[in-house]
């Protein structure tokens, strides 16, 4: 995943190369790893899901299987070539925008679930706070967020061989951004091969039930 050249900011511009690099990086286990992430996200039939930093749409398509024909998945990525590729290879329940996480072209409270895999470290640092505020904005009250990204390599040799240098406190940093955006962190943890996750939710509207007739 570090072998694909980046454009301005953290955008990637070589979809086929990216998919080959990702297949190699996951040592042939990309599909089971991502299906595990879909299960972790709680994506369910009928859900409307946003995939932030969708790249070639690999996770978008795995989520589309979980939400079925009554659901929908929208991917956003600022890289036009990545989105063009995702559009070409994805089924009809998947929709895409060329857009950064810091300006998501979707209405307020329009998603049940927001997911982002391997994307947060690609969002320029000065845009990350705004990106998490956008994720909060587009989630409906009670909606869920799943962030998955690279965790630090363990051990000096692994660190030296790693193409990505990940801060040791990356989970704390992302948790702080999620919380500052107004979301409640419900769980953090790790996944093989070298991933961390942060799960969060948007508060339900207090007193909504009492306003019902």
Ligand X SMILES: C[S@@+](CC[C@H](N)C(=O)[O-])C[C@H]1O[C@@H](n2cnc3c(N)ncnc32)[C@H](O)[C@@H]1O
Q: Applying CB under 6 A, does 74 fall inside the site for ligand X?
A: no
10: contact with ligand X by CB under 6 A = yes
Least Cα distance to 18 among 63, 66, 51, 54 occurs for 54
State the DSSP string of 34-95: HHHHHHHHT--TT-EEEEET-TTTHHHHHHHHHH-TT-EEEEEES-HHHHHHHHHHS-TTEE
Write phi, then psi, for 145 (nearest 5 degrees).
-125, 135
State the minimum distance, in angstroms, from the CB of residue 211 to ligand X. 36
Q: Smallest distance from the beta carbon of 6 to ligand X, in angstroms?
A: 8
Q: For ligand X, which residue has the nearest CB?
A: 55
> Which CB, 12 or 64, lies closer to ligand X?
12
List beta partners, residue 187.
Answer: 199
Q: Name the residue nearer to ligand X (CB basis): 80 or 186.
A: 80
Q: Is 39 exposed, middle or buried (0-12, 13-18, 19+ CB in 10 A)?
A: exposed
Binding-site member from 59, 138, 181, 198 for ligand X (CB under 6 A): 59
Out of 71, 93, 100, 143, point to the residue binding ligand X (CB under 6 A): 100
Question: How many residues would you count in the chain?
Answer: 213
Using rule CB under 6 A, residue 178 touches ligand X: no
Under rule CB under 6 A, how many of the chain's residues touch ligand X?
25
- Measured over the CA atoms of residue 143, residue 181, residue 80 and residue 118, the dihedral's sign is negative
Q: Is 9 in the site for ligand X (CB under 6 A)?
A: yes
Q: Which residues contact 41 (CB under 8 A, 6 or more apart)?
A: 49, 63, 113, 115, 144, 146, 199
- Residue number with CB closer to ligand X (116 or 208): 116
Which of the stretches 106-114, 120-128, 139-147, 156-164 binds ligand X when contact is defined by CB under 6 A? 120-128
Which of 63, 119, 174, 177 touches ligand X by CB under 6 A? 119
Q: Which residues bind ligand X (CB under 6 A)?
A: 1, 9-12, 22, 52-55, 58-59, 77-79, 82, 100-102, 117-119, 122-123, 127
């Amino acid at each position: 995943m570090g072998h694909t050249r980046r454009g301005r900011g953290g955008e990637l511009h070589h979809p086929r190369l990216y998919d080959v690099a990702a297949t190699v990086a996951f040592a042939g286990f990309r599909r089971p790893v991502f299906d595990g992430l879909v299960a972790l996200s709680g994506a369910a039939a009928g859900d409307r899901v946003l995939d932030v930093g969708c790249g070639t749409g690999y996770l978008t398509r795995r989520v589309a299987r979980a939400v079925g024909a009554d659901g929908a998945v929208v991917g956003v990525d600022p890289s036009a070539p990545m989105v063009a590729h995702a559009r070409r290879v994805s089924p009809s329940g998947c929709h895409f925008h060329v857009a950064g996480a810091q300006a998501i072209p979707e209405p307020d409270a329009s998603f049940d679930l927001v997911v982002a895999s391997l994307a947060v470290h690609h969002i320029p640092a000065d845009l990350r706070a705004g990106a998490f505020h956008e994720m909060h904005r587009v989630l409906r009250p009670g909606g869920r967020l799943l962030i998955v990204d690279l965790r630090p390599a363990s051990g000096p040799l692994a660190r030296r061989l790693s193409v990505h240098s990940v801060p040791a406190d990356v989970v704390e940093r992302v948790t702080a951004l999620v919380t500052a955006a107004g979301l409640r962190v419900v769980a953090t943890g790790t996944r093989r091969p070298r991933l961390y996750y942060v799960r969060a939710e948007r508060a339900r509207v207090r007193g909504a039930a009492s306003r019902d007739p």
